[in-house]
Structure 1
Amino acid sequence: MAAFLIVFLTSLLTLITLPAAESRLYSNYYQKSCPRFNQIVQDTVTNKQITSPTTAAATLRLFFHDCLHNGCDASILVSSTPFNKAERDADINLSLPGDAFDVVVRAKTALELACPNTVSCADILAVATRDLVTMMGGPYYNVPLGRRDGRVSKASAVEGTLPRPAMPVSQLIQVFGSRGFSVQEMVALSGAHTIGFSHCSEFSSAIYNYSKSEQFDPQYNPRFAAGLQQACADYHKNPTMSVFNDVMTPNKFDNVYFQNLPKGLGLLKSDHALFNDPRTRPFVELYAKDQNTFFQAFARAMEKLGVHGIQTGRRGEIRHRCDEFN
C-alpha cells in the first residue's frame, strides 16, 4: 500500500509539474544545443536589411500577424496546399511583403546547417523582429526562447482576429482586448507604424471623392492629402503602389509617427482615429512628447506579445522547413 501511494504521488507530481516545465522560456535556451543561434540570426537579418531596406518593417508586420491571430507559433509561414488554405493566404495577409518570409527562411537554412532540427521558426521570427527593430533605432527588449511551431494554419480562422486599416477604435480595442492587451498597450504597438508603408488601396477612399462636398477626409492635412493623391494617382493600374506610414522619418524607428497625428499627417483611418478618440488620445500625446516613454511601453508590449499563445514542449514541433509541417 505504501509503495502504491509513493508511485501514485510521484505520478501526480509529474502531471502537475510537466506543463509548467514545458511552458517555460529561457533567454539562453539554445546555449548548448545551438550556441551560434543569436549570431546567425543577427548576421542574416543584417545582410537582408542592407540589401532590402523594407525588411525590418515587413518582418515586424509579419510578427504581429502571426502572434496576434493565435499566438507566436509561426503558423503564418506555412504555405497552402491543395487540401488546406493556410493563414498566409487569408485576404488580410496577402499584402504581407515577401522580404519578411525570405529573411526567416534564410535564417532557418543557416541554422539547419549549424544545428539541425533544433531551432523553431517561431523563435527565429521573434528574434529577427527584435534585431531588426533595434537596427532601425528602436528599443532593445528581451526575447525568451523555447517556442515550438504550430501544427495548424487555416485562412478561415483569421477573419476578425487582426486589426484592419479602417477599423474604428472600438473594434481595435476589442481585437487587442480579447488577447489581453490594454488600450495603452494597443497604442504603443500601433507605434510600429513609425516604419514601413501602406498600399494606396488601403486609404484611397479617404483621399479621392470622400464626399459630395469634400474631395478628401478633412482629418488629413490639406497639403498632405494633395501629395497622397498625386503619389497614388495610378494605384488602380498598380495595386502594389504604396506610401510610407511616417512620411517624416520613414526609415527610423522613433516617436515621430505620434507627432504626425495631431498635424493631420496620419496615413490610415485607424491612425487618425487614435488621435481623435478620447480613450486613445492621451497615450498618443504622451508618446509624441517623450520618445523614451514610448520606447519603454513598446518594449514591454512586444515582450508580452512575444509570449502570447505560445506552444512549448510536446504541444508543437520544430519544423524542418518553415513553410510546411513535418
Structure 2
Amino acid sequence: MTQRFGITTMAAVHSFVCFILVLAMAVLIPTSSGLLTPDYYNKTCPGALDAVRSIVKQRIENEARYGASLLRLHFHDCFVNGCDGSVLLADTPTFTGEQSADPNRKSLRAFNVVAEIKAFLNFFCGANVVSCADILAIAARDSINLLGGPWYEVLLGRLDSLTASFDAANQDLPSSFSNFAGLLANFKSHGLDLQDLVALSGAHTIGLAKCTLFRPRIYGDTDINSSFAAGLQKVCPIDHGGSHRSPLDATTNTFDTVYYAELMQQKGLLHSDQELFSGGNNQSAALVALYSNNQTAFWEAFAASMIKMGNLPPASSNGQVRLNCSVVNT
C-alpha cells in the first residue's frame, strides 16, 4: 500500500530514518572542495535546502513529471565522470557536451527548473555559493520525497566541472536494451553493485519512456505479458512513430513498489527493467520480489544507493561553483 510521507509514515519508518542519518554521516568522502557533509551550506547559506525544496514542490505540483526528470538529471550526471554538474553544460558553437549524446538528446528535461533554482539561490544566499551538482542531488532527493518516497540526508560540497564529455555520455550510461550481465557490468564499472542496480532501477517507479525505447521489447521479447504488450502496440506501431511516451509503471506519479510488482507479472516496460527479474540472476530476482511487497526494505536500499551514487567522485579535481549552470564561469 502506498502512503504519502506524513505523520503516520514517519512513525512507521522511524528506524529507517535513523539508519539513513547514521549512514550519511559514515560515508563522508574527500573531494576537491573538502568533505561532502549534510551541513555544508549551514553557514554560507542557511535555508538553501528549504529554498530548493520549495521550488521543486511548486514545479511538481504544476507537473508531476518534473520529479522524474530532476531525478534522471542526477543519475545521468553521476554516471558520466562522477557527480559534477557536467550534464548541465549546454552545447556551444565550439563545444559538444553530454546533452547531445544519444542517451540524452531530446530526452533530458527540467533544465529550466535547475536554472530557476540556481538563479534564486544566487539571490537568496547573497552570493554564488551553491554548486549546480549539489542542486541536482538536493532536487533529486526532494522529488523522490514529494512524490511519496523516502527522505534521506543529502551529502553536499561538490564542485561543478569545467567541461563535459560527449563520448563518455555515450559510453557510460546504461542502455534500456541491455541484458542483465551488461547492466551489472555497467554498474560495477561505476563502483556500484548488484543491490545498487536493483534498488536504483526502482527510480522507474516514476516517469515515462519513449516508444523507441520499448518498441523492440513489445514486439520481440518473450518474457512479456501478452495483454500488456498488445495494449502498448496500439500506441507504438512496429514500423513508424516514436514520440509517444508510456508510463514506466501503472502509478507513474507515485514513488512506490508497483514497479517491482509489475516486473514479477512480466510487465516491465523496458527490456532492461524486465531483466532484473527474468534475466537469469537469482539474487536480482529475489530482491525484486522483496521490494515488491516491502516498502521499507526498498526505501532503505534506494536511499543508501542514492547516497552511494551521489558520492561518485568527479573525474577531475579541478572545479568551480558555476554562476550559471549551463556555462563555465569566465
Please, what TM-score do these two structures have when normalized by structure 2? 0.86
- Shift of the alpha carbon at 1:22? 3.9
For residues 282 and 180 of structure 1, the distance between their equivalents in structure 2, rounded to whole angstroms, comes to 22
- Shift of the alpha carbon at 1:230? 1.1
- In structure 2, the residue matched to 1:38 is 49
Query: In the alignment, is residue 107 of structure 1 matched against residue 117 of structure 2?
Result: yes
- Shift of the alpha carbon at 1:154? 2.0
For residues 226 and 55 of structure 2, the distance between their equivalents in structure 1, rounded to whole angstroms, comes to 42
- Shift of the alpha carbon at 1:290? 1.2
CA contact (8 A) 1:67 1:306 kept: yes
- In structure 2, the residue matched to 1:189 is 200
Query: In the alignment, is residue 317 of structure 1 matched against residue 327 of structure 2?
Result: no
Give the greater-gyration-radius structure (CA).
Answer: 1
For residues 105 and 237 of structure 2, the distance between their equivalents in structure 1, rounded to whole angstroms, comes to 22
- In structure 2, the residue matched to 1:303 is 307
- Shift of the alpha carbon at 1:20? 7.3
- In structure 1, the residue matched to 2:78 is 67
- Shift of the alpha carbon at 1:155? 0.7
- In structure 2, the residue matched to 1:150 is 161
Query: In the alignment, is residue 174 of structure 1 matched against residue 176 of structure 2?
Result: no
Two-structure CA RMSD over aligned residues (Å)? 1.9
- In structure 1, the residue matched to 2:65 is 54
For residues 52 and 276 of structure 2, the distance between their equivalents in structure 1, rounded to whole angstroms, comes to 34
- 1:322 maps to amino acid: C
- Shift of the alpha carbon at 1:234? 9.2
User: CA-to-partner distance for each residue in 1:101-130, whole Å, 9 max, x for gaps?
Assistant: 121111001011122211100111100110
- Match of 2:80, SS? helix
Query: In the alignment, is residue 223 of structure 1 matched against residue 227 of structure 2?
Result: yes
For residues 108 and 321 of structure 2, the distance between their equivalents in structure 1, rounded to whole angstroms, comes to 24
- In structure 2, the residue matched to 1:15 is none
For residues 31 and 164 of structure 2, the distance between their equivalents in structure 1, rounded to whole angstroms, comes to 25
For residues 47 and 72 of structure 1, the distance between their equivalents in structure 2, rounded to whole angstroms, comes to 25
- Shift of the alpha carbon at 1:179? 1.2
For residues 170 and 21 of structure 1, the distance between their equivalents in structure 2, rounded to whole angstroms, comes to 34
After the TM superposition, which residues 229-268 of structure 1 pair with which residues of structure 2 at under 5 Å, given as runs?
A: 229-233=233-237, 236-237=240-241, 239-247=242-250, 249-268=251-270
Please say which of residues 268-277 and 302-311 is displaced more in the overlay.
Answer: 302-311
- Match of 2:232, SS? helix
For residues 42 and 264 of structure 2, the distance between their equivalents in structure 1, rounded to whole angstroms, comes to 47
- 2:113 maps to amino acid: V
For residues 64 and 233 of structure 2, the distance between their equivalents in structure 1, rounded to whole angstroms, comes to 25
- 2:177 maps to amino acid: A
Quickly say closer, same or farther: Cα 1:287–1:20, change in 2 above 3 A: closer
- Shift of the alpha carbon at 1:47? 0.9
CA contact (8 A) 2:178 2:272 kept: yes
- Shift of the alpha carbon at 1:254? 0.8
For residues 235 and 113 of structure 1, the distance between their equivalents in structure 2, rounded to whole angstroms, comes to 50
- In structure 2, the residue matched to 1:213 is none
- 1:263 maps to amino acid: Q
CA contact (8 A) 2:98 2:169 kept: yes
For residues 292 and 280 of structure 1, the distance between their equivalents in structure 2, rounded to whole angstroms, comes to 18
CA contact (8 A) 1:201 1:235 kept: no
**Runs (4+) off by over 6 Å:** none
- Match of 2:246, SS? strand
For residues 240 and 153 of structure 2, the distance between their equivalents in structure 1, rounded to whole angstroms, comes to 42
Show structure 2 runs of 5+ residues with no match: 1-29
- Match of 1:176, SS? helix
Quickly say closer, same or farther: Cα 1:223–1:268, change in 2 above 3 A: same
- In structure 1, the residue matched to 2:147 is 136
- In structure 1, the residue matched to 2:214 is 203
- Match of 1:325, SS? coil
Please say which of residues 23-32 and 191-200 is displaced more in the overlay.
Answer: 23-32
For residues 144 and 190 of structure 1, the distance between their equivalents in structure 2, rounded to whole angstroms, comes to 21
- In structure 1, the residue matched to 2:298 is 294
- Shift of the alpha carbon at 1:235? 8.7
For residues 44 and 289 of structure 1, the distance between their equivalents in structure 2, rounded to whole angstroms, comes to 32
For residues 95 and 182 of structure 1, the distance between their equivalents in structure 2, rounded to whole angstroms, comes to 30
For residues 207 and 293 of structure 2, the distance between their equivalents in structure 1, rounded to whole angstroms, comes to 22
Of 57, 74, 79, 2:90 maps to: 79
The count of aligned residue pairs is 297
User: CA-to-partner distance for each residue in 1:23-69, whole Å, 9 max, x for gaps?
Assistant: 30221211121112012101110111111221001111111110011
